[in-house]
Each structure stands twice: as structure tokens, then as C-alpha cells.
Structure 1
Amino acid sequence: MLFITLIVASFVFLHQSTAQTDCSLEEKDLIFIIDDSGSISASDFLLVKEFVLNVTETFTISNVTVNVAVITFATFATVEFYLDDYSDDKAALTAAVMAIVQSNGATFTDEALALARTDVLDPARGDRATADNVVILITDDISNDPERTRNESDMLRQFAEIFAVAIAVDDESEINYVGDDPDGEYVFSLSSYSELPGIVDDVGLVTCKSLNGFNHGVLDLP
């Protein structure tokens, strides 16, 4: 596992990317951490799922390029699917994302960050030693346990670039802490869910190119 670079039976409009970036040969393990707490309406949660699919459209999904995992969180965090579940089947990946059911509840962001570190980023779950790992957090609220959220982001950051999308968050100090620095490149601040389509190209671009160019290392799980 490499350093983490720390976001159907339905008619889904997939954004056609105009970003002038060729990610077709990029090898990434892409992990979306999605807030599905009770503060999000059903229609806005659908926009989040479409955003996830639109970002994946900027990459080539295959065993040798980009793999995708999704974690949702509210009162509890859940792995919706692992990196190797749909590594060679983009249609099945699309169906799996659209099938995610919102759980509602509180906002324990720390649980999701911990789950990414200890469960998803595991070679037995599809984490590849040759791939960069990209984590995109999407949330509309501060966490119920701010101290633990900061601690978990620090532990993830030992091996990670973390990107964050904050939607109508009144106090962004926590999300700015979770996302890497500088905030202007790692944190996307939106006023509503309807603005998500407008950042698809930018999110795809920064996660494709890996801003800091780290020398990657193997994650030593506790």
C-alpha cells in the first residue's frame, strides 16, 4: 500500500469532464468517505452519490489503474464496498454507488477516518502496494467528537494526502484541519449541494496529479 493521496437501475446524469488531464494511466486506490447523517436530505444525498460517480468518470477503472472504495458515516461508519470489489467492472461500481442507502443519525467523522485506516487500507481488502491512495471526505457538518476526529485525521495523515469537501459548514476549522494544507488546494468549501457538479473537474485534477509528490511508503497497521 502506498502513501494515501488525504469525495444501475436509475437514470443518472454523468458529468462529462472537461479537465485537460489524462488520468488514464494513473494507478490510484480512491476512497470516498461520505457523510450520510440526518442533516442531509434525500435529494442532496442523491447529489452526493452522483458526484462520486462523476469524479470516477475522470479516471479509468480497472485492475491496473484506479480502484474505488466507499465508506459512509453517521452514528456509525460502514464500508459500502472495498477497493477490490468492483476493480474490473465499472457498471457494477455505478450500480453499487447508486444502491447506497442513507442511514441518518449523528456525525461521527472520526469513525469513518479510523475505518479507512484500519480496514479499507489493507492488502487483504484490495489495497495495492503499487498504487497511490486518494481519500476524499464529503460532509456538511462538524463531527460529534471533534478531538477524536482531529486525532484520527493525524493518524491517517502519517501516510496520506487528505482532500475534503465541506458543504454549508458554519465552522470550517475542523474540516480545514482534516484536509491537508494549504486549505485552498485540499479543501473545497461549498454553500450548497447543488454546487457539487461545479467542482468535479477540479477534484479529479488534484487527486489525479497528487499535489505534494510524496515518496510513498507501506502503511504499517496497528
Structure 2
Amino acid sequence: MLISIRFKKVPNKERQGVKFFVSDMSNTFKSVKNRFFKTSIHIVDRYQFIRQVSWALENVRKRIQKDISYKLRKYFKRSRSLFIKPASKLTTDQAKEVSLMLDFGNDLKLTYRLKELFYYLPYGYKYVLSQPNRLRAGKSLREWIRRAEESNLKEFKSCTTAFNKWFDEICNSFDYPWSNGPLEVTHTKIKTLKRNCFGMKNFNLFRKRIMFACK
């Protein structure tokens, strides 16, 4: 509601001049875009959809980890970084460790394969994040979603649902390099400054501190 009130104050001509609308995967932002920035191209920040895969990957690992002995559970925790690391960049010893982890169940093998298909495999259209444009990314992402759904891994359900819902906006990120990264960094600086100052009663002084910290 507050967001809508603020954007209503922006002149329509100025809103129509916005070419790109970059956001996370929130329904609120989609409704704002469709209402106030109809002519703009909606782009989902890459970090926002990439982490959907990371969450699913980690949730599968945690589920498998619960069903093994305490000693092996500690090993799984310590080896988390190896599970995420590209297979092509693993040393011989690291590859053996990952292979041992994958032997604990077919679900882990399927998850590891889906991770590689999304992030790292350096060939063909199956490697999602390597695609150079929207069209090829769309084909690759469709194939990845199909594989994830066929895996029947419950941890990937929310991921594939989100990808299907935001498919066009995700694919747009492959044609345009825009990101909310710089804005998020500035936002974090402001929150940190506010916390370190234990609040500021004088807004003008606080604004000066922000401008100084972010220049």
C-alpha cells in the first residue's frame, strides 16, 4: 500500500520513461511493475533466482544428513563447500570425497547433477547460466525445470514453481546486465550506519553521514 502511494506521486510521463524494472521475486514488485511501469522490461535480479537452486541443494543435503550417524554428519557439514564447488574444479582427493558423499543415496546424485546442469557444465544448451541471450536461456531453463520436476525431489518443488512463475523475467536477465547489487550494498551501508549510531534524531545530519559514507 505504501509503495503504491509513493509511485502515484511520480508523474506518469516519468514512469513511462522507465526502460527497465529490476526486482526480486516478490508478488508485490510484480504488481507494482504491472500497474505503474507497464512499458518497462521486467528483470529478476540474478542473485534472486540463483539462490533458489542453492536453497534446494542445501535442503537435500540436510535431509540426507539427518539419517546418518553423528560422525558422518559432521563430515557432511565440513564437506558442504565441496558439494557446491564445480566438479571440474575439484582436485583428485576432493573428487573422491564428493563421490563418497554421493554414495549415500540416489537423491544426492540427482541433486548434484541438477546443480552441475544449472551452474557449471561447460557444454551445449543444458548449462543454464552460461547462455548468451534470452532465447537460448529459455530453452536451457525449460530443460532444467523438466529434469528437476522429473527428479521428484520435494526440495526442488518451490524452486521449479518460482522459475515457472517468473520465467520471462528470469530470461530477461540474460539479455540485460542490470542488477540490484549496487543498491543492496548502499542499503546495507545505511542500515549499518544507523545501527552503529544507535539511531539519529536529526535527519539532515543523518543524511550527511549517509552521503559521506556512500560517496
TM-score with structure 2 length normalisation?
A: 0.26
More strand by share: 1
Asked which structure has the greater CA Rg, the reply is: 2
Structure richer in helix, relative to its length: 2
Which structure exhibits the higher relative contact order, with contacts defined as CA atoms closer than 8 Å and separated by 6 or more residues? Answer: 1
